[in-house]
Structure 1
Amino acid sequence: MADEGWVAVGAGASTALETFEEPIAERITRVGQDRSDLLAFYKFPTSDARYERLTRFYNDERSALSQQPFESYDQEAKVDYLLLQNYLKRSLRTLELDNARDAEFAPFVQPFATPIRDWVQTRMEVRVIDPQEVASSFDATAREVRRCRQLVRGAKPGRYSKAAGHRAARTIEQIRNHLREMFEFYTGYDPSFDWWVREPYDRLDAALAALPAYVREKLAGIGPDDEEDAIVGEPIGRGGLLAELEAEMIPYSPEELVRVAEREYAWCEAEMAKASRELGFGDKWRAALEHVKGLVEPPGAQPLLIKSLVDQGTEYVEKHRLVSVPHVAKEAIRMYMIPPAAQKVSPFFLGGTYLQVSYPTSSMSHADKLMSMRGNNRHFAKATAFHEMIPGHHLQLFVADRARPYRRLFSTPFYIEGWALYWEMVFWARGDFFTCPEDRVGSLFWRMHRCARIVFSLKFHLGQMTPAECIELLVDWVGHERATAEGEVRRSFNGDYSPLYQAGYLLGALQLWKLRGGGCGPGTVPREGIS
């Protein structure tokens, strides 16, 4: 025993430390945290240092993982091992894809991005700077920004794709933000820095501020008045889709999955015709759909309606003992309103940790108010309230936060969205939930929407459909209002979702249905495509 209660470490301790095997769950947690720290430190877009460091990180982790004793793991640990292995491989692929996309616009962005990157990294590493040198560099960089405008203006038609122009504009905005953070780190603390750098910084910042809109207009055809509503997206091609499908462990081609969606849509259309006939519209199911859309709640009733439908879904699964619902999960449900501007992207209500309800307000146009009310009526919302909350996303996320939360690193829409849609299939197959034809029309509208999502998202990335054609598909196939179709497509391609996200709803649900032992599914058409 050493002084003050400390224990003396024996000579063999170092050997024990060297042979320590990191438990796989702890390894996953560490990898996720290490990655977050590296992304925060090597934060500059288009940076070679960032690309090289992340590449080394993923390769080192893959190598270290391959040396772990896989065969000695129990079943859960083996699953964790394979999930981490797949995650690291996919991360490398995504990094390479992003680097290739950045290379498309490097000729006109890198000349001014490189010196800014160097100063940002100097600030991150807290190295000594010479304010006079910074000022001189900023003046020279502002000239490079002006030269960038000349290069863009003089580019031959077709030299840069719309997607490259849109991505370049976004990247320039990020560069400007990093430059601002670097400047604000020093200004006000170093009088010499303020003296030398303030005016050169203001000139450089002004030049950068005007550049994204110019690049968008010249290369992507998006004018200043169109920025908010423009839909561009970045198709990844068939090779990119195959790599994503491999990462999602789906052994089917994009074309096979489109055929699955078309078969599912045919079943939905047949079921929609049955409900239409019950409502007195014959086989004209689109007329029946418009009728159900018009069954709106009175103004101000939507929040109470949505909450009552959430409670209905919870009571249903508990009554029939379909899934366990922890008391806190149903007790602590919260509701918030979606701001009118955000409803351009999310025209219907959302759920998960809490409810977000779209709601007509005085600031919205008459058409937008009508769209919100029609899209959130009782019969349309019946199939989405439990999808978003219980037994859908709310219950799913509640449990995920408490059971192996480290697996959140491997989040995939094929489970996240597939789980919620799987419950729609279960409720439909039981036959005692969607009891009236209006409810079935509302449910089938969303099921058709999931089919269309597979088709338009895969065909967009295959280069077979434009965003405008994707909107038309939602209007023609599903019966969307044009504004809601635009919102759905905008949300799909604005950069916040993975390329397969929209396909993950129905395909993930079919996977879960097969695991449940549900055979061909709740419909009448055999489904050979997913197993």
Structure 2
Amino acid sequence: MVDLDSPRGLALRRAQSGNIRDRIERITQDLKEIKKFYAITISATRINRLRNFLHEELNDLSDQPFELYTQEEKVDYLLIKNYLERQLRELALEQTRDQEALQLFPFVGTLISLCEERAAVSPLDPKETAQKLFEVQNQIDQLSNKIQNDSTQFSLSKTSAFRAANTVVSLQGHLKEWHGFYKGYDPLFDWWVSDPYKALKGSLDRVTNLIREKLVGIDPASEDTIVGQPIGRDGLYAELQAEMIPYTPEEIISIGEKEFAWCINEMEKASNSLGYSDWRQALEYVKNDYVEPGQQTQLVSDLAQEAISFVEKYDLVSVPQIAKETWQMFMMSPERQKVNPFFLGGTSIIVSYPVSSMDHEAKLMSMRGNNIHFSRATVFHEMIPGHHLQMYMNARHKPYRRLFDTPFWIEGWSLYWEFLLWNDDRWKKTPENRIGMLFWRLHRCARIIFSIKFHLGQMSPQECIDLLVDQVGHERATAEGEVRRSLNGDYSPLYQAGYMLGALQIYALRKEMVDTGRMKEKEFHDRFLKGNRMPIELVRASMQDQKLTPDFKSFWRFYSLDSTHARR
């Protein structure tokens, strides 16, 4: 028998453990398949299957010979461990939120069972199925009548009611697929089920609309109401833990407020140089410096080339020829601009600018919100050296780490470049340019403040909008789009805070690595990109070759709350 602690035994254990990258890639695909098959997010079957899978993987991971891994393998180990633990926490949180929302729907289990039996291709009795649909429809109609006649009898919060309405919409999609699977192929199914299904669909539509109108307070004539789904203090703590940010939510707000104050001070300096005593007046002047309709695409193209030429001239980061050559530009639809009033970027840049179908006020707000000086900062944030270069490198270096997506790495990198170009005198900046750059930095500070306070229940969506209009200088339409984008659930709760916090982390790491001479600037930037996505603290651990253990915990206090300006 081989002694497992002997050199031969250690080698055997390492060989048996398999490649940690292979493990990550397998888990990625296994989770994708489980979630695709068990597609109904509120299903107890899905929740239990995912929970069992995550626990099994964590248990197996703990048996692996961590001490035998290379530094990068140890980082991978900690990444997948953190990911699995985060998935478990999010599963528990979502289940709790769903349980509160679903107290309205005692009938939901019947509909879930039908859809899951179809996925398993279980035998179906059309007559019995029709009876189930009929009974559920009656329950839904009774609920609708109660809501219609006296909505005050329901103690559900607006957030839970909104979640309930969205759950019904999602469930209807699964029922549509279920009905389409059998329809036409089973004559008895059509004969028994067609009418009950049609009636059920109408009842589900009605109850959804009533929940939104009576329990949430959404005007049925308006599609622009912003509700959002705050996750509370426990949820924020869980998210901060997963992102390896060892600060409390209150400390995060303090960071945002300190950076906000710095931006205002710099904004006043730039405004004074233009002859304005009030920075808001200077900002209005800058916002009115926009190109005429039809010229925005050329402006964006010129700005993109300016940024590429700059980073290449001063050898700041590697820019592969294919990355420079293959980026594309598209225009954003008026509908999408309601959620994304500014540019988007990545593999391509998507430009916000008014179209002829917009009304006069909307056109002016879009042009002012995407003026020349705002656009200058936006383009290098979105393209090169920002997101486009990131996406290019992500696809080619350790691509399996894209599973560990985090706004602190993604958005932090692009905003970090705004820090660098602000500080670099070689990057020419007029006072108008400075105001444009400061607007965006002020905007990212406000994102920290309003997003964290919203999730703590300290700010309403309308108060978030007012903050952006009154204290940052947004157009009201762009402020509404920004808040809608931030709170509608498409982004993680810390996404908006991740811009500024991630940039501060990267900037602090740069001071430790570049300013001390441990790395050249270009080497630092290239290594950061080639490491792919992960919490910044693990980037730091990798670059500094820190001693790692399987129970690694976040400890890096990258921002001093005691100093006036921690990163300067």
The answer, yes or no, to whether TM exceeds 0.5 is yes
- Structure 1 residue 386 and structure 2 residue 383: aligned? no
Question: 1:34-90: CA deviations, max 9, x gaps?
Answer: 111111111113211111111111111111111111110001110010011111111
Among 218, 228, 235, the residue aligned to 2:230: 235
Question: 1:118-159: CA deviations, max 9, x gaps?
Answer: 110110001111111111111111112112224545554671
Among 152, 161, 182, the residue aligned to 2:157: 161
Query: Taking structure 1 as the reference length, what is the TM-score of the superposition?
Result: 0.93
Distance 1:92 1:365 in 2: 47
Change (3 A) 1:438 1:19: closer
Residue 439 of structure 1 corresponds to which residue in structure 2?
433
Question: 1:413-450: CA deviations, max 9, x gaps?
Answer: 00100000000101111123242000000000000000
Q: Which structure's relative contact order is higher, taking Cα pairs within 8 Å and 6+ residues apart?
A: 2
Question: 1:154-208: CA deviations, max 9, x gaps?
Answer: 5546711111111111000011110110010011111221122111111111111
Residue 130 of structure 2 corresponds to which residue in structure 1?
135
Among 328, 337, 348, the residue aligned to 1:334: 328
Residue 224 of structure 1 corresponds to which residue in structure 2?
220
| SS of equivalent residue, structure 1 residue 20 | helix
Distance 2:67 2:258 in 1: 41
Distance 1:166 1:358 in 2: 29
Distance 2:91 2:202 in 1: 31
Contact 1:428 1:434 in 2 (8 A): no
Residue 526 of structure 2 corresponds to which residue in structure 1?
none
Residue 52 of structure 2 corresponds to which residue in structure 1?
56
Residue 469 of structure 1 corresponds to which residue in structure 2?
463
- Structure 1 residue 403 and structure 2 residue 397: aligned? yes
Residue 273 of structure 1 corresponds to which residue in structure 2?
268
Contact 2:14 2:68 in 1 (8 A): no
Residue 209 of structure 2 corresponds to which residue in structure 1?
213
The residue type equivalent to 1:491 in the other structure is R
The residue type equivalent to 2:353 in the other structure is Y
Among 484, 509, 520, the residue aligned to 1:515: 509
Residue 73 of structure 2 corresponds to which residue in structure 1?
77
- Gap runs ≥5 in structure 1: 1-15
Among 168, 174, 182, the residue aligned to 1:172: 168
Shift of 1:239: 1.6
Question: 1:194-253: CA deviations, max 9, x gaps?
Answer: 122111111111111222111111110112112x21111111111211111111111111
The 5-angstrom pairing of residues 268-417 of structure 1 reads 268-282=263-277, 284-417=278-411
Residue-pair matches, total:
509
Among 232, 253, 260, the residue aligned to 1:258: 253
Residue 427 of structure 1 corresponds to which residue in structure 2?
421
Contact 1:213 1:223 in 2 (8 A): no
Contact 1:45 1:175 in 2 (8 A): no
Distance 1:67 1:21 in 2: 9
- Structure 1 residue 183 and structure 2 residue 179: aligned? yes
Contact 1:260 1:527 in 2 (8 A): no
Distance 2:263 2:467 in 1: 15
| SS of equivalent residue, structure 1 residue 508 | helix
Residue 11 of structure 1 corresponds to which residue in structure 2?
none
Distance 1:347 1:230 in 2: 16
The residue type equivalent to 1:503 in the other structure is A
Contact 1:62 1:85 in 2 (8 A): yes
Q: Percent identity?
A: 52
Residue 4 of structure 1 corresponds to which residue in structure 2?
none
Distance 1:185 1:101 in 2: 31
| SS of equivalent residue, structure 1 residue 105 | helix
- Structure 1 residue 120 and structure 2 residue 118: aligned? no
Distance 2:242 2:385 in 1: 27
Shift of 1:22: 2.7
- Structure 1 residue 483 and structure 2 residue 477: aligned? yes
Residue 8 of structure 1 corresponds to which residue in structure 2?
none
The residue type equivalent to 2:343 in the other structure is F
Distance 1:433 1:363 in 2: 38
- Gap runs ≥5 in structure 2: 1-11, 516-557
| SS of equivalent residue, structure 1 residue 495 | coil
Residue 142 of structure 2 corresponds to which residue in structure 1?
147
Stretch deviating more after TM superposition (33-42 or 154-163): 154-163
Distance 2:95 2:462 in 1: 28
Residue 521 of structure 2 corresponds to which residue in structure 1?
none
| SS of equivalent residue, structure 1 residue 465 | coil
Among 73, 78, 93, the residue aligned to 1:97: 93
Shift of 1:112: 2.3
Shift of 1:359: 2.0
Stretch deviating more after TM superposition (156-165 or 92-101): 156-165
Stretch deviating more after TM superposition (289-298 or 359-368): 359-368
